[in-house]
């Protein structure tokens, strides 16, 4: 028999006001997809990939899709076993322990506001086609303030808002796909031999294995965000079943929503040399196929997609800080106000506002520093998730043998293929990063954040026995960290 979780009455009292369990799978997926923002990924990350890796984008993003689905399986099983708000931090803390959890918490605490700042600073570039003279910094500040305020509304209202924006975003991607597929200029077999633009000759040249692997990493980064469904576990009905479905559906839709239009662009472009040589390949293709008026409408839709992503990430950020405060992974004077829930909206308003303020502050950091600070952290987060997925199955099997009811929990097929394959892919990314001097700053920052997280555990959490009370299940049962 396993020892039942110890009920921490102080913790239970602190968290008497629960989040509103009012989302279905569809509502969760709408918010999660909004945070991923497939349209902005295609225009920004996909465009950069086309310019750098050429037709290698087809294989790169296709293989990245397979890897992303494998990682989604890891998230699905972890989220089903531990359906708790807080995303990667909550999952890793409860499976690998508070030391690893502290490292992942610090990764998310640093990178989420920085990602919001990066997105917000790019809004003016797309709105500028309709509203001339926008200042990027002030536009970013206004967008973050509006997004943070919106993220404080109740969760169903946010699902409707983000869902409406998402419809516009998906329509823009559908238009790209149609424009490419109705004017196919080459067979798909031409994409099977990866070629990129040779700057010296202006023609196409074979893309090497290293370039193809980098295209895969770009695709993985472009698809990132489907694990965000776990942030809303405590607001999703029948969470043990629903979270796994929300994660997998989010991953599948994201891969299709990005891979199909990018493939259509490659098939439908008049000249691959001109496409890959353009400063903005996706916008250039769109303008050539649809004209300036439709291009302006689509670029405004991309700006709205970015705003939508900022709202969704603000929702996730608030739940990250709320979960850590509720777990007492922060000092008590800081944790107490951040662990509160608004009685009116049943949302973690204080935590959401604090993360919004951090995002505002990040807007004043030089843009290249923002990019370097977020570049390699994703690989570390996925590495922790893959390791946790290896461990959680063994724990689930042990719990089932001990008589614990695990009805409804998701079990990934072909275990342990997904986490092992994910770890191999992540290890490859690290090797490439080490061999490429251009990645050293980004990799060094990511390693520094992880080390700081472990140091925070060693110097504070471990020395304070009243900290790190980890929520054990969907209800208010708690157990102290081991």
Please give the pLDDT value at position 213.
84
Please give the pLDDT value at position 469.
56
Please give the pLDDT value at position 404.
77
| Structural element, H or E, at residue 418 | helix 417-435
| CA distance linking residue 31 with residue 159, whole number of Å | 6
Q: Which residues pair with 469 in a beta bridge?
A: 480
- Global pTM value: 0.89
Beta-strand relationship, 204-206 and 195-197: antiparallel
Please give the pLDDT value at position 361.
97
Superfamily for domain range 36-191+209-469: Amino acid/polyamine transporter I (1.20.1740.10)
DSSP string of 399-414, one letter each residue: HHHTT---TT----TT
Q: Identify the segments of the chain with pLDDT beneath 50.
A: 1-17, 471-482
Domain ranges of the chain: 36-191+209-469
Is 288:185 a contact under the CB 8 Å cutoff? no
Long-range contacts (CB closer than 8 Å, 24 or more residues apart) made by 202-210: 202/273, 202/277, 203/273, 204/54, 204/55, 204/272, 204/273, 204/276, 207/53, 207/54, 207/55, 207/56, 210/432
What are the angstrom distances between the C-alpha of 355 and each of 345, 390, 409, 470? Answer: 18, 31, 32, 22
Please give the pLDDT value at position 13.
30
Return the beta strands (E) in 58-210 as ranges: 195-197, 204-206
């Amino acid at each position: 028999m396993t020892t039942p979780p110890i009920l921490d009455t102080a913790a239970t009292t602190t968290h008497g006001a629960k989040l509103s369990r009012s989302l279905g799978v569809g509502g969760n997926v709408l918010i999660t997809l909004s945070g991923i923002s497939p349209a902005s990924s295609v225009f920004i990350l996909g465009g950069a990939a086309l310019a750098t890796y050429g037709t290698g984008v087809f294989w790169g993003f296709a293989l990245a899709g397979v890897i992303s689905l494998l990682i989604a399986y890891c998230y699905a099983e972890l989220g089903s076993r531990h359906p708790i708000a807080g995303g990667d931090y909550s999952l890793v803390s409860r499976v690998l322990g508070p030391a690893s959890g502290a490292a992942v918490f610090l990764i998310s605490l640093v990178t989420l506001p920085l990602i919001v700042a990066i997105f917000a600073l790019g809004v003016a570039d797309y709105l500028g086609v309709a509203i001339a003279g926008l200042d990027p910094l002030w536009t970013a500040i206004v967008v973050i303030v509006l997004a943070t305020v919106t993220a404080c509304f109740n969760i169903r209202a946010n699902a409707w808002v983000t869902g409406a924006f998402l419809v516009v975003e998906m329509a823009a991607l559908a238009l790209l796909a149609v424009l490419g597929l109705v004017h196919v200029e080459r067979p798909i077999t031409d994409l099977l031999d990866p070629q990129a633009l040779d700057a010296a000759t202006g023609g196409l040249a074979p893309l090497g294995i290293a370039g193809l692997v980098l295209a895969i990493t770009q695709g993985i980064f472009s698809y990132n965000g489907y694990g965000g469904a776990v942030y809303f576990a405590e607001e999703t009905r029948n969470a043990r079943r629903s979270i796994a479905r929300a994660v997998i559906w989010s991953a599948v839709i994201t891969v299709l929503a990005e891979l199909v239009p990018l493939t259509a662009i490659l098939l439908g472009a008049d000249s691959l040399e001109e496409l890959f040589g353009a400063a903005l390949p996706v916008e250039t293709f769109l303008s050539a196929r649809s004209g300036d008026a439709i291009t302006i409408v689509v670029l405004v839709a991309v700006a709205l997609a970015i705003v939508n992503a900022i709202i969704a990430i603000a929702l996730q950020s608030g739940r990250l800080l709320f979960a850590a405060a509720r777990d007492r992974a922060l000092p008590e004077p800081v944790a107490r106000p951040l662990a509160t829930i608004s009685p009116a909206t049943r949302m973690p308003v204080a935590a959401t506002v604090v993360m919004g303020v951090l995002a505002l502050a990040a807007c004043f950091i030089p843009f290249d520093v923002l990019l370097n600070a977020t570049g390699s952290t994703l690989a570390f987060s996925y590495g922790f998730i893959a390791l946790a997925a290896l461990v959680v199955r063994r724990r689930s099997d042990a719990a089932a043998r001990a008589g614990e009811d695990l009805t409804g929990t998701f079990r990934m097929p072909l275990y342990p293929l997904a986490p092992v394959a994910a770890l191999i892919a992540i290890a490859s990314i690290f090797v490439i990063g080490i061999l490429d001097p251009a990645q050293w700053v980004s990799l060094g920052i990511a390693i520094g954040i992880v080390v700081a997280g472990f140091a925070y555990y060693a110097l504070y959490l471990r020395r304070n026995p009243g900290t790190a009370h980890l929520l054990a299940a969907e209800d208010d049962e708690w157990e102290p960290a081991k």
